[in-house]
Amino acid sequence: MSESILIGRDPAAGKDLGLSLRMANRHGLIAGATGTGKTISLQVLAEGFARNGVPVFLADVKGDLSGISQVGGDNPKAKERAAALGLPVAVHAESPGLLRPAGRSWREFVASRPVAAELRAIERALALAEQTGCSLHVVHVSSGRGVQLVADARARGVHATCETCPHYLTLTEDDLERLGTRAKCAPPLRPAVERNALWEHLLAGRIELVASDHSPCPPAMKAGDFASAWGGIAGCQTLLGLLLDDGRVEPEAIISLTSANVANRFHLPKGGVEPGADADLVLVDPDGRTTVEPLDRHRANPFAGRDLRGRIVRTIVRGTTVYRDGRITPAGHGRLLAPTKGEPG
């Protein structure tokens, strides 16, 4: 196996992008399998990373519009290989054929990435999952209709799950008028009817995970119009706070949606409070208040200044306090989190 592998091209710089396998295994990077010409071998990618305990997410990346890669999820060979290796396939669902270059305004941006693109991509990914027997997870679903497609497929025996994000549960496309590019993401924010449908599905148990889709950047990259600004929201800092503030999801369910279900879905040795488990804990004052003050690359954030009910008092990772009363401990505590063996949950 080569020490350095080609993973694609940087369309802005016009050059190949390489990745050291040693670096990937040390830092636990997530890999992608593309359906285009000059790419890393799927077998090298999947088998090489799988042997080293790194979770591999396979998807088809096509083109680049407004700085956001397009994923159609229609590579059957990738899914067949993933099924054989017992790896989950995570798909960003936007069908490239229904997307077009974004205009400068928020209305043009939203129109360039319609709900229909998400639905077509989910339908195609589900069909291939059913055909190949792979385990499919659709990431950051923005529409209630998308969730329903996954639920219907699961009811007929397809091993498929999905997630949504706090920004789809708390914001709508109308908020883009006020928030500007700070709330640019893909898929984009949707009308209130889709947000409400997501809540109905979430409370009915049809959405397995709520994830941040964390996409930080220097504030300068959020400057400009909707055609040129960075597409993504730094959601890690506000994920828990937004769910606590809304109040519709019970704390026990929040634990499942953000931790236990994640660990089970991807066979991660986390997600439980029991003897022998890692002491990964968050202590919350439910009566406290928090004003969102984004840190570092989170600063160009649509939730900046928002007052939230509930206050995170302390965060503990493997028994070590890494955050207490607004202060982050300076030392790093991250480790490679490798999945345990077995079929995806």
pLDDT of residue 334: 77
Query: Which pLDDT tens digits describe the chain residue by residue (345 residues)?
Result: 333 333 344 444 444 444 444 434 433 344 444 444 334 444 555 555 554 444 444 444 443 433 444 444 556 776 677 677 677 888 889 988 899 988 899 999 999 999 999 999 999 999 989 998 989 999 999 999 999 999 999 999 999 999 999 999 999 999 999 999 999 999 999 999 999 999 999 999 999 999 999 998 888 999 999 999 999 999 988 999 999 999 999 999 999 999 999 999 988 889 888 998 899 999 999 999 999 988 766 788 999 999 999 999 999 999 999 999 888 887 777 777 777 766 666
pLDDT of residue 108: 97
Q: Backbone phi, then psi, for 62, in 5-degree steps? A: -135, 115
**CA–CA separation, 73 vs 26, rounded Å?**
28
pLDDT of residue 165: 98
Which tokens sit at 132? 């190949």
Q: Match 């799927």 to its residue by tokens.
A: 42
pLDDT of residue 34: 43
pLDDT of residue 5: 38
**CA–CA separation, 345 vs 342, rounded Å?**
8
Nearest Cα residue to 136 out of 198, 93, 187: 93
pLDDT of residue 315: 93
pLDDT of residue 345: 66
Domains annotated on the chain, with CATH: 4-274 (3.20.20.140)
Q: Backbone phi, then psi, for 282, in 5-degree steps? A: -125, 125
pLDDT of residue 169: 98
pLDDT of residue 342: 61
**CA–CA separation, 229 vs 220, rounded Å?**
9
Q: Match 């202590």 to its residue by tokens.
A: 283
∠ CA 114-242-223, nearest 5°, is 55
The pTM of the full predicted model, rounded to 2 decimals, is 0.84
pLDDT of residue 118: 95
Q: Match 């991250």 to its residue by tokens.
A: 334
